[in-house]
Amino acid sequence: MSEWQPRILAILCNWCSYAGADLAGVSRIQYPPSIRVIRVPCSGRVDQLFILKSLQSGFDGVLVSGCHPGDCHYISGNYVARRKFALLKPLLEFIGIEPDRVQFSWISAGEGERFAEVITKITEDVRKLGPSKRLVKKT
Amino acid sequence: MNSIVMKQDASTAIRELLAYLLSSSRVDAVLTMRQVPETGSCDLGLITDPSGMVEAEPFLPVMTANAGQALSSISMSGKRIAAVLKPCELRGFTERVKREQGSFDNLLTISSICGGVFPLEKVISGDLEKLVPRYIEKTARAEAPRGLRETCKACEEFVPMNADISVSVTEHGSLMHLHSDRAEEYTEGFEGERIEARADQSHIDRMMKSRSAAKGKLFQSLEKSSGLDGLVDLFGKCVGCHGCSRVCPICYCQHCDFESINFDYNQPYFQESLEARGALRLPPDTILFQLGRLTHMSFSCVGCGMCSDVCPVSIPVAGIFKKTGERTAGLFDYVPGRDSEEPIPVMVFKEEELGDIG
Amino acid sequence: MAAVLPVGSDLSGAMNRFLKTILEKDIVDAVLMPMKVPSGDSFAWIIMSDSSIVDDAEAMAPVMPVQGARALRSLTRKGEGSIRVLALMRPCEIRAAIELSKLGQVKTENLILAAYDCPGAVPMDSFVSDPSSGEDLFRKMLAGEDVSAGEVKPSCTSCVEFSMTDADLHFGHFGLGGTEVLLIPGSPKGMEILEALELPADRETSIWDEAVRKRREKQVASRDAAFEETGENIRGVQGMLNVFADCISCRNCRAACPICYCRLCHFESETAKQDPNSRLDSAVTRGGISLPADRMLFHTGRMTHMSLSCVSCGQCSDACPADIPVAQVFSFVADRTQKAFEYSAGRNDGDPLPLRSFMKSELSGIHEMVSDAEPGGHAHE
């Protein structure tokens, strides 16, 4: 049987991080095939619930990525997102989800290399943690 | 601070003040707890006729609904209202005002240093008659009465934060403190000796001591409820009635996300889940609802305890939300309900902050 | 006629084995049944396709934390797929599911609804505070021993539909001394299950029939007494006001009700919201009002919306934090509204919902009928 591969949901903002992923692709930069991408207009659109729901539905990790602070296409969406992520952190701890399963990053449209690095990092982090418990108690 | 000395007990004095405000047409209505003498049943009354004041029990240690929630839409009528609110109700209302669900514009808020309230079950079982006299006696001595709501025993925010008028009752007497110009203006002509005084700090300190100890205990008892297994143990018996969110002063959404079509699943979803896990709980998302509510409102939780009171399966919801809320609000030095001008932490940001994210 | 399931030592265990068998033999794809929650003080509905999980489940749970029809609603509301599910529930849960299917909220095509002779349920609050006594109590109830009425859910003590042959398959055990269970098919679907298991339905059921008839007689008497008491309590507007005096408007009753399926209740919608100014005007007119407002309007409104489908399961009372006998009142009213249309909620007899059908010539004596149906329901006394 082949080795277990983590499945990671990457929620990317349309203007920076999605374009960064695109650049990584056209530049043929290699990164692990572990992510499934959802494109959102802005990282500010991401409700913390999206992240919890992804983990519950069976994703092993979640990455949310937006424009660098100061570069938001909508001026301030990523600042608001940053606050929401800050709020989510203690909650994840309370729920008992390992902090490395949920990661946030800022990737611009020109950072194809960085996109690949971020994906490689989260993939390795999640691989170390093993499969997610899907918010259920194992009996 | 300008304060009025109350000759009679605090309830009588406030009842007289409310009647005075109504009969002198300074306000159009008052909101207060009241108790029907014959049946003993209590409710929140919005009273316009001064004669109705006989049933008013402004400081009845009972919360049938968070008055901040009940006051919400009424406060936007443009009519002048005097509202007697417990500190957590006032904080709940303040949080609602920040969410454009209420207005202070025509409101005179009256609150008090709060001794806590009894759980609904005690009210329903008719124990109140016995409990209240003892409650009054004990709280005047800054002692904790028995049988209060768990969150009340552990509440450190028992001093009103932004009331126009606050009432303090100690063994040495009762005072009405006037905190705002509106308070001065509305009480003008109301009988009673004016003195310069603040609430007795040693009384507050003594209350705080027992509250802090109880809070430590409560939080510690909930320690085992964190982590996935702890959460499943805790919320596993949740019946999904969502009563906690309906009585919550912060949960103002008319249509909760968790009751929306977003949380209906089609059959392929169930089929897939069954294939992956072999079993699935129905209705689904019992625990996700609690976690979702924690992400949506815990930083604004005022710890009133309504949620625990209505839970049909006795889950200590309020303790969990209060404990988690202190952590989430603490990230931004946010104190829910402190000041209506203080913005909700997720609605604002600083450019230079939270450098560890991303 | 019925098939026979030998019991051995444990009634609930025998039913578990039966459910496990039909999963193992792929007669159904999944079963829906109660399982104890990890904290041990309640039960939850679990749909399971893995037959080994059935061992941890409980065919008959002492409590009814979530009305089973609500579980079925969440499973099939968005339409049915290809999984065939057998749901084992109390008769009132099956009846609610049938009502919901008439209301388009449960799709029964791929469901096999199975019920059992229900001895009643233990109230949630007492079970949560002492689960082991609750389980002992339920064992006694199952064995037909006398328990004091105060320990059982009030709606169960006056339930006359505790045994139900409108389900696809019924597990009858009353009067059989705990040695065997009768598998009574109520529909071709139920018959198919028995055929697939090669269980012939050749047993005569007279002993069971007699036991059920006797119990029903007793239950009818206690229901009539309960109705009489409730009728007295809610007499006139003041009576209703007194009964609901402690209502805090949490709407748990509505949320726990299997029939109240609306996503956004009318009474929580924008339509029902009164303009704050007119609310104050009405306070001025009356000298004062009680908040949260419109509590009686909510209860009577809910009654008009769902009493024709009320199955008297008692979940509303169980969920009420103010201990209001909501279920007793709703049962009382439902009994009368349903009689007015000769309708019985939860029957699988093809009767359409009364308000979804009409006949051109009917209800000509509407005025007399209304006054007959509501003894004491008038404000003017």
Is some CB atom of chain A closer than 8 A to the CB atom of C6? no
What is the structure's pLDDT at B26? Answer: 96
Chain A residues in contact with chain C using a Cβ-Cβ cutoff of 8 Å: 137, 139
Nearest to B294 among A53, A84, A91 (CB): A91
What is the structure's pLDDT at C360? Answer: 81
B312 CA: distance to closest CA in chain A (Å): 23
Same domain for B47 and B15: yes
Contacts of B233 in chain A (CB under 8 A): 137
Mean pLDDT of chain C: 92
Is a pLDDT exceeding 80 seen at residue A122?
Answer: yes
Residue of C nearest to B72 (CA): C276
Full-model pTM: 0.92
Same domain for B267 and B207: no
Is some CB atom of chain B closer than 8 A to the CB atom of C130? no
Is some CB atom of chain A closer than 8 A to the CB atom of C365? no
What is the structure's pLDDT at C273? Answer: 87
Last residue of a domain, one of B180, B199, B219: B219
- Residue-wise pLDDT tens digits, C270-298: 888 889 999 999 999 999 999 999 999 99
Is some CB atom of chain A closer than 8 A to the CB atom of B347? yes
B227 CA: distance to closest CA in chain A (Å): 4
Structure tokens at B292: 């979702």
* For range C83-98, the mean pLDDT: 96
What are the residues whose beta carbons fall under 8 Å from the beta carbon of A123, sequence distance 6 or more? Answer: A6, A8, A31, A32, A34, A35, A61
* pLDDT: which is higher, C287 or C378: C287
Same domain for B144 and B39: yes
CA distance C100 to B234: 31
* For range B148-176, the mean pLDDT: 95
The chains found to touch C (3+ Cβ pairs under 8 angstroms) are A, B
Is some CB atom of chain C closer than 8 A to the CB atom of B270? yes
Whether A83 sits inside 8 A of B349 (CB atoms) is yes
What is the structure's pLDDT at C370? Answer: 56
Is some CB atom of chain A closer than 8 A to the CB atom of C26? no
Same domain for B273 and B207: no
- Contacts within 8 Å (CB) and 24+ apart, B18-24: B18/B47, B18/B53, B18/B56, B18/B58, B18/B82, B18/B84, B19/B50, B19/B53, B20/B189, B20/B190, B21/B82, B21/B108, B21/B186, B22/B47, B22/B48, B22/B49, B22/B50, B22/B53, B23/B50, B24/B189
Residue of C nearest to A137 (CA): C38
Is a pLDDT exceeding 90 seen at residue B41?
Answer: no
Interface test with A, best of B291, B293, B353 (most A CBs within 10 A): B291
* pLDDT: which is higher, B39 or C36: C36
C-alpha B72: how far from chain center = 13
Structure tokens at B119: 């759980």
A38 CA: distance to closest CA in chain B (Å): 17
> Where are the domains positioned within chain A?
8-129
B330 CA: distance to closest CA in chain A (Å): 10
Grade residue C230 by pLDDT with cuts at 50, 70 and 90: very high
Is a pLDDT exceeding 60 seen at residue B207?
Answer: yes
Same domain for B236 and B134: no
B149 CA: distance to closest CA in chain A (Å): 24
What is the structure's pLDDT at C377? Answer: 41
Residue of A nearest to C37 (CA): A137
Is a pLDDT exceeding 60 seen at residue B350?
Answer: yes
What is the structure's pLDDT at C264? Answer: 93
Same domain for B133 and B10: yes
- Evaluate whether A98 touches A59 at the Cβ level (below 8 Å): no
Whether B313 sits inside 8 A of C124 (CB atoms) is yes
- Residue-wise pLDDT tens digits, A73-91: 999 999 999 999 999 998 9
Is a pLDDT exceeding 90 seen at residue C165?
Answer: no
Instruction: Please report the residues numbered 148 through 187 in chain B whose beta carbons come closer than 8 angstroms to any beta carbon of chain C.
Output: none
Last residue of a domain, one of B169, B203, B219: B219
Contacts of C79 in chain B (CB under 8 A): 266-267
Is a pLDDT exceeding 50 seen at residue C380?
Answer: no
Contacts of A137 in chain C (CB under 8 A): 38
**Burial class (CB within 10 angstroms; exposed 0-12, middle 13-18, buried 19+) of C198:** exposed
Nearest to C250 among B247, B261, B274 (CB): B247
Grade residue C73 by pLDDT with cuts at 50, 70 and 90: very high
What is the structure's pLDDT at B142? Answer: 94
Instruction: Please report the residues numbered 118 through 147 in chain B whose beta carbons come closer than 8 angstroms to any beta carbon of chain C.
Output: 120-121, 123-124
Residue B272's domain spans which residues? 222-357
Is a pLDDT exceeding 70 seen at residue C214?
Answer: yes
- Residue-wise pLDDT tens digits, C121-134: 999 999 999 999 99
What is the structure's pLDDT at C381? Answer: 33
Same domain for B133 and B67: yes
| Inter-chain contacts counted by CB atoms under 8 A, chains B and C | 216
Whether A91 sits inside 8 A of B324 (CB atoms) is yes
Is a pLDDT exceeding 80 seen at residue C51?
Answer: yes
Is some CB atom of chain B closer than 8 A to the CB atom of C238? no
Is some CB atom of chain A closer than 8 A to the CB atom of B287? yes
What is the structure's pLDDT at C164? Answer: 78
Same domain for B298 and B191: no
Nearest to B267 among C79, C245, C256 (CB): C79
Contacts of C78 in chain B (CB under 8 A): 264-267
C103 CA: distance to closest CA in chain B (Å): 17
Mean pLDDT of chain B: 94
Same domain for B215 and B228: no
Same domain for B199 and B93: yes
What is the total count of domains within chain B?
Answer: 2
What is the structure's pLDDT at A133? Answer: 76
Same domain for B205 and B266: no
Is some CB atom of chain B closer than 8 A to the CB atom of C311? no
What is the structure's pLDDT at C79? Answer: 83
Mention the CATH class of domain A8-129: alpha beta
Residue of A nearest to B320 (CA): A94
Same domain for B209 and B156: yes
What is the structure's pLDDT at B358? Answer: 80
Percent of chain C with pLDDT over 90: 82
B278 CA: distance to closest CA in chain C (Å): 5
With b for 16 or more beta-carbon neighbours within 10 A and e for fewer, the A12-36 pattern comes to bbbbbbbbbbebbeeeeeebbebbe
Contacts of B296 in chain A (CB under 8 A): 48-49
* For range C349-355, the mean pLDDT: 87
| Inter-chain contacts counted by CB atoms under 8 A, chains A and C | 3
Whether B255 sits inside 8 A of C264 (CB atoms) is yes
Interface test with B, best of C24, C153, C248, C316 (most B CBs within 10 A): C248
- Residue-wise pLDDT tens digits, A13-46: 999 999 999 999 999 999 999 999 999 999 999 9
